[in-house]
Amino acid sequence: MRILRHGLEVTEMAVSPLPANPTAVWTTRLTADDLYDQYIIVSFSNATLVLSIGETVEEVTDTGFLATTPTIAVQQLGQDALLQIYPQGIRHIRANKQVTEWRAPGGRSIVRAATNRQQVVIALTGGELVYFEVDESGNLSESHVRREMTSNVTCLSIQPLPVGRRRVRFLAVGCDDNTVRILSLDATTCLEPLSMQAISAVPESLVMIDMPDQISEGSLSTLYLNIGLQNGVLLRTVLDQTTGQLSDTRTRFLGAKAVKLFELNMAGNPAVLALSSRPWLSYQMQSRIHLNPLSYETLEFATSFTSEQCLEGVVAIAGNALKIFTIEKFGQVFNETPIPLTYTPRRFVVNPVHKTIAVIETDHNTYSSQEKKKKLKALGFEQEEEEALDPVVFGNTRSKPGKWASLIRIIDPIQATTTFQLELSQNEAALSVAVLNFAVEADQMFLAVGTAADLHLQPRSLSSGFIHIYKFVNEGRDLELVHKTPVDEVPQALLHFQGRLLAGVGKALRIYDLGKRKLLRKCESRAIPTGIVTLHNQGGRIVIGDVQESIHYASYVASENKIVVFADDKAPRWITCSAMIDYDTVAAGDKFGNFFVSRLPANLSQEIDEDEAGSKSVGKGYLHGAAHKADLVAHYHIGDILTSLAKTSFVAGGREMILYTSLMGGVGIFIPFQTKEDIDFFQTLEMHMRNEMPPLAGRDHLSYRGYHVPVKVTNIVYMRVAPSPITIHGMGLIFYFILFYFTGYRRW
């Protein structure tokens, strides 16, 4: 089993616990010529800790930093000086440990600061900005120009200092009136406003970075202003290096927490680390700017880290721990955690309360461990001789058809370990699984497993089917058997339904409740023609996937305690998997590599919901099926058998999509169109691709797509699908030809 996570893989190098929860961390070099960082400065709510980086990381006290106050910013200044900004002032530390202090005037305090190696800007309470600059002698001198902002300052950012320059031009200021302003730092127009951008929320942090130019040729770099908002949104806008105007703003929602931004150096270029509900990294690779999450825990503060062992590392705060990590594989936006299993995994479910995973494993033509011991003993072999052949290398011991080996496993996905496993006996094959809680014991989570004993696939036969009910114990890490209920067919689909168990046993759809010795059958419907393989529900509506007759829609009538099938698909399909997209729409895949979306007509769905007695659901069958038919909304040929479907989104608040997996190991997505422009663009692109790239075999693409399912033309207003006019006219000509032929007008 592999746990895939959307995000860059992180290599953790060191974790150091701290005596209290820190608020910020920085790294700094002692001189401008140093290759590696020398100090790690950790700020607490009432103190500052300085750690020296060497063969070991140790605390030092003779650095000149003020240890009895929290720190706002740290910077290596000039050629060989250090700068500490704290709420009451600025501390300028020379290489000879000579300290010069600047105190905040009038009892005011410093709330925000932005620095580079030559310039410093601070914001005082009340919104006043003070500008400092390093002069020729290395002293930090205050500018005579100050600026009073119209509202409180929430964040500051200064343009990065290029190599060989002593001053940059732009300062970005974020205020609590939902604005970001660009101020000039030129000597003649110091702190004069250049541009302003209104945003949707209060800015939390700002970072300006220079990236190699991707917009126009001829420039060396493009200056980007990254804005992190308190509502979890990240904005990236282009800052014109001549006029200071903001343009081309891009928006991305990162999480529920406020976005904190930090400048890093990744893959040889400047990068931005954004911390929200999870960490994100904006970096440049192969002439493109990427924004991907990190597969790491939630962080609170971060800074870059450079040493002999780690040239492009990150020091971050997580709780009361200091963590050092690095990112190496920038091209792989997914990372995986493999968990070895004993047999072939068939299905798995997630315990929503305890966040553990229950997996059923089943192999055909394989001896179980108990059966293998009996066979070895009968043949006179020792168990040690068999165990010398590793099943991972040589495979499990093969047996004759009709023999099954099955296992139920509980996995902790966070630790990627197995916490419980139970091998089934009596030649049982585990085929379905579901997590549920019964209404009679609402505070307890149960696991239902459907099995079949002595199952032969062709011709289909079995001695008995069973539904096992297990209770989750030990915080969902173990299972305890409650009882085992025999059934007459193979239970291939199980589902939690209104405090009870909905089971597809062969072609019968049943509702079970929890009894003391076995499950109690409460309701049954035998309207499914062949065999139930998938089940979904929303409210009282049930969507049933038949192994040979496509999708069926059913409704549970509580007053009559009956299940009524009121609609099905027009075409027979061999269903392998399905997913309920919304109350009226279902996506499914079949054994011939097709993916399709089926939807109920809106008026029919409303009529069924208003019919409490179920009288409108029961009617004269249509095309040897249910009384009503669903509409085909979309159809695609994947070319591989789909094994699972799920409606999901990769990030919180992102666009929902349909994720699928296939038999040959593929993972893909279907993204729904949301605007008319998208549909027009891809229809035009498809038309040009047909003209520019004809099929190699000479077969027309439209003919191929319309062989079994006609090519559809989408109606944008209602998002409905209608047959192609060519198909309608062709059917009409055939009808008239038959009519005239049999009425005597054969010459026509």
Query: What CATH number did the domain enclosing 152 receive?
Result: 2.130.10.10
Are 144 and 237 part of one and the same domain?
A: yes
Most trustworthy range by pLDDT among 275-279, 626-630, 670-674: 275-279
Residue 674: inside a domain, yes or no? no
Residue 370: inside a domain, yes or no? yes
Express each pLDDT in 242-295 by its tens digit.
888 999 899 998 888 999 999 998 877 889 999 999 999 998 887 788 898 998
Kindly give the pairing relationship between strand 179-184 and strand 73-77: unpaired
Written as six digits, the tokens of 244 are 């200071």
Asked if pLDDT for residue 592 goes beyond 60, the answer is yes
pLDDT of residue 609: 80
Written as six digits, the tokens of 343 are 């047999």
Are 28 and 130 part of one and the same domain?
A: yes
591: burial class by Cβ within 10 Å (0-12, 13-18, 19+)? middle
Asked if pLDDT for residue 646 goes beyond 90, the answer is yes
* CA 274/CA 228 separation, integer angstroms: 8
Residue 8: inside a domain, yes or no? no
pLDDT of residue 683: 84
Are 109 and 207 part of one and the same domain?
A: yes
Q: Distance between terminal CA atoms of the chain?
A: 67
Q: Which domain holds residue 91?
A: 22-261
pLDDT of residue 479: 93
3-state DSSP call for residue 685?
helix
How many of the other CB atoms lie within 10 Å of CB of 26?
21
Q: What percent of the chain has pLDDT over 90?
A: 42
Are 508 and 363 part of one and the same domain?
A: yes
Are 251 and 109 part of one and the same domain?
A: yes
pLDDT of residue 382: 61
Query: What does 573-618 look like in DSSP terms, one character per residue?
Result: --EEEEEE-SSSEEEEEETTSEEEEEE--HHHHHHHHH-TT-TTTS
pLDDT of residue 678: 87
Residue 588: inside a domain, yes or no? no
DSSP summary character for residue 742: H
Are 217 and 354 part of one and the same domain?
A: no
Please tell me the least confidently modeled range out of 6-10, 587-591, 596-600. 6-10
Are 352 and 245 part of one and the same domain?
A: no
Are 104 and 210 part of one and the same domain?
A: yes
Are 99 and 212 part of one and the same domain?
A: yes
Average pLDDT, the chain: 85
Query: What does 156-207 look like in DSSP terms, one character per residue?
Result: EEE----TT-S---EEEEEETTTEEEEEE--SSSTT-EEEEEE-SS-EEEEE
pLDDT of residue 447: 94
Residue from 293, 79, 83, 121 nearest 206 by CA: 121
Asked if pLDDT for residue 171 goes beyond 90, the answer is yes
Query: What does 31-94 look like in DSSP terms, one character per residue?
Result: STT-SS--EEEEE-SS-EEEEEESSSEEE-S-SS--TTS--SEEEEETTTEEEEEETTEEEEE-
610 or 567, which is more confident?
567
Please tell me the least confidently modeled range out of 196-205, 576-585, 623-632. 623-632
- What is the H or E stretch that residue 485 is in? strand 478-487
How confident is the model over 290-309, as a mean pLDDT? 90
Asked if pLDDT for residue 729 goes beyond 60, the answer is no
Kindly give the pairing relationship between strand 657-662 and strand 667-670: antiparallel
Residue 505: inside a domain, yes or no? yes
pLDDT of residue 347: 93
How confident is the model over 147-152, as a mean pLDDT? 90
Express each pLDDT in 220-232 by its tens digit.
678 899 999 999 9
Express each pLDDT in 10-27 by its tens digit.
988 888 888 889 999 999
3-state DSSP call for residue 661?
strand
* Sequence-separated (6 or more) residues with CB below 8 Å from residue 24: 42, 43, 70, 71, 72, 301, 317
Written as six digits, the tokens of 686 are 């498809």
Asked if pLDDT for residue 721 goes beyond 60, the answer is no
Written as six digits, the tokens of 94 are 């020379």
Residue from 402, 403, 420 nearest 411 by CA: 420
How confident is the model over 355-382, as a mean pLDDT? 82
pLDDT of residue 706: 60
Residue 473: inside a domain, yes or no? yes
Asked if pLDDT for residue 444 goes beyond 80, the answer is yes
401 — pLDDT class (breaks 50, 70, 90):
confident
Express each pLDDT in 407-443 by its tens digit.
999 999 988 899 999 998 878 899 999 999 998 888 8
Asked if pLDDT for residue 386 goes beyond 60, the answer is no
* Sequence-separated (6 or more) residues with CB below 8 Å from residue 240: 223, 246, 247
234 HSE (CA, 13 A, CB side)? 28
pLDDT of residue 614: 60
Q: Where a domain ends, among 261, 276, 294?
A: 261
How confident is the model over 374-393, as a mean pLDDT? 68
**Are the C-beta atoms of residues 18 and 42 closer than 8 Å to each other?**
yes
Are 251 and 360 part of one and the same domain?
A: no
Split into its structural domains, the chain has a count of 2
Are 49 and 139 part of one and the same domain?
A: yes
* pTM higher than the cut 0.85: no
Residue 555: inside a domain, yes or no? no
Q: Where a domain ends, among 497, 526, 555?
A: 526
Q: Where a domain ends, among 197, 228, 261?
A: 261
Residue 424: inside a domain, yes or no? yes
Asked if pLDDT for residue 546 goes beyond 80, the answer is yes
* CA 686/CA 692 separation, integer angstroms: 10
Are 360 and 464 part of one and the same domain?
A: yes
